[in-house]
Structure 1
Amino acid sequence: MPITSIAFGSPAEAGQPDALRAALAEFISMLIFVFAGEGSGMAFNKLTDNGSSTPAGLVAASLAHAFALFVAVSVGANISGGHVNPAVTFGAFIGGHITFIRSLLYWVAQCLGSVVACLLLKLATGGQETSAFALSSGVGAWNAVVFEIVMTFGLVYTVYATAVDPKKGDIGIIAPIAIGFIVGANILAGGAFDGASMNPAVSFGPAVVSWTWDSHWVYWLGPFVGSAIAAIVYEVIFINPSTHEQLPSTDF
């Protein structure tokens, strides 16, 4: 069971150079991802007079996030594993691939990267704010939680299958693009209902900058639950515990 592989780590790990470099890589990757993803929505609004909630706007958001995540994961993969998502980090922790101490470093770096990206967007656009994630009319908070659980399950399951599984072989080469594609596809599926976050840090940055916290808990609870389920399912069913060797935190 994955629970037997969970490691707290030593507090001294937080000051190790490789851990700090990994956290910095997560910060930069998240900044790249959020700046491009959220910025695309702001640009679409400017060009279409607030038309980002139209079908065309949804497609544009899907493509922008898929492209940006592909790049963000790729550039961080060799340093931090290219998590670019607190939920992905949580899934790695549940599976025993990263310690709790390093997970904390990643979470702080990821959230800071998102906040800084939103602040830079506000500065670059002359004061426009990135809109906080919100539920659409007729969508309840628990409906959105289910959406976030299922979408994040798909994301983290993809991460495990293409990047974590020691039997992945050559499929690991396409891990970043597969991860970007599942996020883009999920945005097409859930974007019209709750914004399709799948990433607590992506929701956190706009919430901080706009200081809007309505139903914000949805975008933490759903992704963390979905991530944990995906990690446990893949570890227990598809990774043979008798041959599985614990991987370092930068393994994907």
Structure 2
Amino acid sequence: MQKHFWWQRLHWPEYGSELLGTAFLVFIALSAVAFTLGSGSPLAAVLPKNSTRWLITGLLLAASGPLVAISPLGKLSGAHLNPAVSLAFWLQGKMHQHDLVGYLASQMLGAVFGAGLAVLTWRERAASVHNGITVPGRGYPIWSVFLIEMGFTCLLVLAIFLFLSSHHLMRWTPLMTWLLVAFIYWVVAPISGSSLNPARSFGPALVSWFWRDQWVYVLASPIGALLAVGLYRSLSRIGIHDVLTAKLFHAPRYRCIFKNVIAPQINTDQDGKLIAPREGN
């Protein structure tokens, strides 16, 4: 029986895809905020109303995740790009524990790279929006910010699970997340910064070395993901099917390292290694 060392069970291509995808997501998010809301924004003269610019910002930054999901990077890793999403899939029994750790580390590191690149690219304009740091809005109590981040993360994860539990809806998951995240950003960004993603908050906070109230974004989203899993399991008792895949855009021709996947996929073993099809299959 062949002996496998622990490092041979790691899936570096998927971790690298998550790192690059999260870096892209954070770079686009910070760039959108700097371009639409930063000093010298060309939209300020054309669209003086802040609410309209918040909406445009949300549409721009929310598009980054779906773009990664339909790219080769996302088709390989699943384009979680968010520790709360990976945690939810793990709690639902779709991820190995070592892959969860690999994904979380890749997402955090990717967020730092993305934030650093955005700050270097936009400089003064990024500084005018505090390098994209997510902070509670002025005048809002910290408990309300916590509940908003927790509640909307719960909504996002629950929506992802519901779409990925349907053969008819699963292909539209990236489109759904784009519209939903854009709407959430438009509604709650002035209140909480609309993070919904611990990595998205961690990257700018580390680059700027700003940690005030960051515990809210570290804790609220994972708790929201935990609530979403609990709600989904309650719904499954009344006829909702199990989540079919842990990829936001499942492409059968790409390797799948996840557990208990019901969607069509190429054959892999428990460690994600390709298995040659048997004769006659």
Common fold, TM-score beyond 0.5?
Answer: yes
Deviation at 1:53, TM superposition (A): 9.7
| C-alpha distance in 1 between matches for 2:145 and 2:21 | 26
Question: Are 2:93 and 1:101 equivalent residues in the alignment?
Answer: no
8 Å CA contact 2:198, 2:218 repeated in 1:
yes
Matches of 1:33 and 1:27 in 2, distance apart? 10
Matches within 5 A, 1:35-74: 35-44=27-36, 45-48=38-41, 54-74=50-70
Paired AA for residue 150 in structure 2: I
Q: Which structure 2 residue ranges, 5 or more long, are not aligned?
A: 246-256, 264-281
- Counterpart-to-counterpart distance in 2, 1:240 and 1:138: 42
User: For structure 1, which runs of at least 5 residues remain unmatched after alignment?
Assistant: 1-9
Higher RCO structure (Cα 8 Å, ≥6 apart): 1
Change (3 A) 1:43 1:161: same
1:34 to 8, 26, 29: 26
- Mapped to 2, the partners of 1:46 and 1:169 lie a distance apart of 45
Structure 1 residues 117 and 53, CA gap change in structure 2 (3 angstroms): farther
Q: 1:146 to 1:126 in 2, by over 3 A?
A: closer
Q: CA deviation at 1:50?
A: 11
Cα 1:102–1:240, aligned 2, differ >3 Å: closer, same or farther?
A: farther
- Is the CA contact 1:31–1:117 (under 8 Å) kept in the aligned structure 2? yes
- Structure with the larger helix share: 1
Q: Which deviations, in whole Å up to 9, do the C-alpha atoms of 1:122-149 show, x marking residues without a partner?
A: 2222464423111111112211110011
In structure 1, the residue matched to 2:215 is 217
What secondary structure sits across from 1:47 in the alignment? Answer: coil
Counterparts of 1:1-252 in structure 2, within 5 Å, are 12=6, 15-16=8-9, 19-44=11-36, 45-48=38-41, 54-75=50-71, 76-126=73-123, 128-129=126-127, 130-163=131-164, 165=165, 168-238=166-236, 249=258
Task: Please report how far the alpha carbon of residue 111 of structure 1 lies from its aligned counterpart in structure 2 after TM superposition.
Answer: 0.9
Return the letter of the residue paired with 1:26: E
Contact in 1 for aligned 2:90/2:97 (Cα 8 Å): yes
> How big is the alpha-carbon RMSD for the aligned residues of Structure 1 and Structure 2?
2.9
Superimposed CA distance per residue, residues 108-166 of structure 1 (whole angstroms, 9 cap, x where no aligned partner): 11111111011111222246442311111111221111001111011101110112x2x
Cα 1:40–1:53, aligned 2, differ >3 Å: closer, same or farther? farther
Contact 2:43 2:53 in 1 (8 A): no
User: What TM-score do the two structures reach when normalised by structure 2?
Assistant: 0.76
For normalisation by structure 1, the TM-score amounts to 0.84
- 1:29 to partner: Cα distance: 1.0
Q: 1:93 to 1:126 in 2, by over 3 A?
A: same
- Give per-residue Cα distances to partners, 1:174-205, cap 9 Å, x unaligned: 01111122111111121110111000000011
Quick one: structure 1 residues 183 and 41, their matched pair in 2 at CA, closer, same or farther if it must change by over 3 Å? same
Aligned counterpart, 1:7: none
